Amino acid sequence: MRFDPMIPIWAQVVEQLQLDMVTGRLQPGSKMPSGRDLAVRFTINPNTAARVYQEMESLGLCEPRRGLGTFVTEDAGRIEALRRQMAEDALNRFLVSLAGLGMTPADAVAMLREHEQDAQ
């Protein structure tokens, strides 16, 4: 994975792992790699990897189990909420770029309809 060096690396790895959860590459209840394995897999500092897990835990996306490691939450509702939130973020970015071009949300809706019709 290539990182943007101007943005905290931990945040970029968290985003990647969230994407993996939403797309099912990381299944609910499955075991996550150890902090060290995560560091090697992403070629990131081990302290950054530890921060990634802290963050995932505080978001309720991962849970540590004593002596067993860290696991993806089994709460399917939590992952569904994450999908929703990521979609909202994408939508906001989309609206911000359109606003930068002088277009309103109503223009955006009209364009989406048009786009959909073209595709059919």
Please count the other Cβ atoms lying within 10 Å of the Cβ belonging to residue 5.
8
Q: Which member of 27, 34, 45, 104 binds another protein (CB under 8 A)? A: 45
Q: Site for another protein (CB under 8 A): which residue of 20, 27, 31, 46?
A: 46
Least distance between another protein and beta carbon 37 (Å):
9
Q: Which residue's entry shows tokens 């906001």?
A: 92
Cα 14 from Cα 32, distance rounded (Å): 13
74 Cα distance to chain centroid:
17
- Does position 21 interact with another protein (CB under 8 A)? The reply is no
8 is an interface residue for another protein by CB under 8 A: yes
Cβ 9 to another protein, closest distance in Å? 5
